[in-house]
Structure 1
């Protein structure tokens, strides 16, 4: 390694020092590179094994690398779903002391899917809608904290399964800017138009390659993020007026926001001069209402819809076992020990990379329900678990190791070609 290498990182992994930083990224030896499909992006990106995990390394300028690293760290502190920044490497030189580009190192997001692994000829239009809805929610969360993305697209987003829906994660923050005073309507509309155009263009690209279901209209899907975004933004920020006799609508508004996954920091409530009209204005904290409650009760970290499903099962356990009068945290600890953890332990070790534990639990509950409907009897959870492992989980691909470039277009690996939405998996195996 020539020259003095500068590594900026909150927690430096010693393994970083063993990587061949004296070589241009495109010349790194194959034994350092993770077996990944190559993609097209603004910058060269390679995937590398580092200790027990995989990182994405992107060559860029020192200024852009530092800026994106700090932006990702800030978004993480604000609990925005995004990739984990690992380090910035600057002052690289080759063996002849010629300068090399700086790099940004981010951690591979386990159990996530690139959009091209989801969009395929078998994809149903409703699954396309779920992906766009997830991206709309992410964009609302970003705008709510004053973040202007500037490059909203499917390529710059990763998706994790979330109990029948998807959770979206920001990947590329290079063009992003955080405004302490919030965003203007013009800035929000600009981001929204960028999203609409980029999504339509990305899907038209898939369509040109014959990899998009003929029933999916790329332009309509692109337009879908606009309507979903505006519905969410209105629900989160708009004032509401109603008659004083309808005060129950205050609780209804809070419940709707909680159902969308948002917590309320405070409600501004006032009456007019006559005392007959009530005006309310919610101040939203952030998404993650159910995730935070599940984490508080059980210590489990799950996606929002997964958390909602687990909490529903916890509430059902509490009711069916006659523990309604017991402390909620005590019952949650009991449910964790008697229901959730035994299921996780029962998954064979070689199948644990298929899905996240919370997603396995959600799918198991669905599987038991369908079994009960088909056999017109109550199916014990243990019986459903055996069936689920043998007929569903064992035949899924390993989503913990699906990899992708950070930005740009993905060349599909063999194992994910034709991958449709979750309801199509069993038919494909």
Structure 2
């Protein structure tokens, strides 16, 4: 059987052909590999360079490779945080013509870390809580989309910094199934697997001495259940309001927006007597703040990053003479600038110059939105200490000189 590369984009096969597919993945020469931290996997996984891209290469049998490739493509289409599938490589043989396992190729998620790399320095319990928050949000998003993971764990997740918190991404979809809708039993099964897996993984860390002494593995394993159930209840519960109190519905929607979710479809029913209104969110989509930021500025960011950048944008617009917030930027005399115009001015005059002021060699794996968030945090800290606003330029200079050189090796968010 000849080597076959089934790829998502036409340019990928040519780039991937340069890799040594005739060798077992364990024997790939160092010249092809990229030394990035890897999590625990039941399969052989390596990071390699294909053209200008860094890719993750995983060896497994052809049928599960094709199945996982298809599931990851489905998750990408419905905008679920997961690694990007690039290709499946089949028909591999060694120099003697003996068959080799197929390979799934995904794009390396820039700035991400497996959980064991986060524990290279002992994480505080507060950081552990943020990891549980991120994983709970990911699991809820998967279940809202009808995806039963079948193996939710820290090992099957990558974490990226997200404005002092974390964003979680699914890595391994091999055991998953996509349905039109999940039953409560399917959700409960996934959640119980998550609890058991997480407790076991934390016990392994405890045995190796990498776990903070105040962290109880069993307690933190159960915490994912509590955080999941609280979020699921808020997103899906039915609310009954007195007739005429329609602002209660708006308040509920705003609360969901604050959690990072949009209500894309809802059901509203009046009671037979007309004295109450029942409100049920029917379709809830994550990504409220990233969508808003992308629409206004063209910037792509994680949920918490987007929320922070939007807050800074709003504060900056309030200082502009030509902004009229009561009309969305349009003054009645025609002299006001639209919000979209001011947002692009903020990107051009504030965001981009600030990020570019940070030398590339000091940025580590941080994306521009995370850099800008950290600079805003440092500005707030210095301003609190000085008891007046010290300005962004001063904060940037101090951050570059005194903070970045000694923090780029720290895996957690600022303060960990």
- Helix, strand or coil: the match of 1:47? strand
- Corresponding residue for residue 319 of structure 1: 318
- Corresponding residue for residue 258 of structure 1: 257
- Structure 1 range deviating more: 289-298 or 21-30: 21-30
- Helix, strand or coil: the match of 1:265? strand
Give how far 1:321 is off.
1.8
Q: Assess, with a 3 A threshold, how the Cα gap between structure 1 residues 298 and 421 changes in structure 2: closer, same or farther.
A: closer
Contact 1:119 1:128 in 2 (8 A): no
Q: In the alignment, does 2:131 pair up with 1:131?
A: yes
Q: In the alignment, does 2:415 pair up with 1:423?
A: yes
Contact 1:143 1:183 in 2 (8 A): yes
- After superposition, give the CA deviation of every residue in 1:24-70 in whole Å (9 maximum; x if it has no partner): 11122222222245664211112212222221111111111111111
Q: Where do residues 8-407 of structure 1 align in structure 2 (5 Å cutoff)?
A: 8-11=6-9, 12-13=11-12, 14-36=14-36, 40-119=40-119, 122-180=122-180, 182-244=181-243, 246-322=245-321, 323-324=323-324, 325=329, 326-397=337-408
Q: Assess, with a 3 A threshold, how the Cα gap between structure 1 residues 246 and 81 changes in structure 2: closer, same or farther.
A: same
List gaps (5 residues or longer) in structure 2.
330-336
- Corresponding residue for residue 332 of structure 2: none
Q: Assess, with a 3 A threshold, how the Cα gap between structure 1 residues 374 and 39 changes in structure 2: closer, same or farther.
A: closer
Give how far 1:77 is off.
0.8
Distance between the aligned counterparts of 1:226 and 1:101, measured in 2?
37
- Structure 1 range deviating more: 350-359 or 169-178: 350-359
User: How does the TM-score come out when normalised to structure 2?
Assistant: 0.93
Distance between the aligned counterparts of 2:380 and 2:119, measured in 1?
28
Q: Which of structures 1 and 2 has the larger relative contact order (alpha carbons within 8 angstroms, sep 6+)? A: 1
Give how far 1:245 is off.
5.1
- Helix, strand or coil: the match of 1:169? strand
Distance between the aligned counterparts of 1:218 and 1:230, measured in 2?
19
Give how far 1:199 is off.
0.6
List gaps (5 residues or longer) in structure 1.
398-414, 425-429
- After superposition, give the CA deviation of every residue in 1:394-413 in whole Å (9 maximum; x if it has no partner): 3333xxxxxxxxxxxxxxxx
Give how far 1:120 is off.
5.3
User: How does the TM-score come out when normalised to structure 1?
Assistant: 0.90
| Matched positions, count | 402
Give how far 1:351 is off.
2.3
CA RMSD of aligned residues (A): 1.6
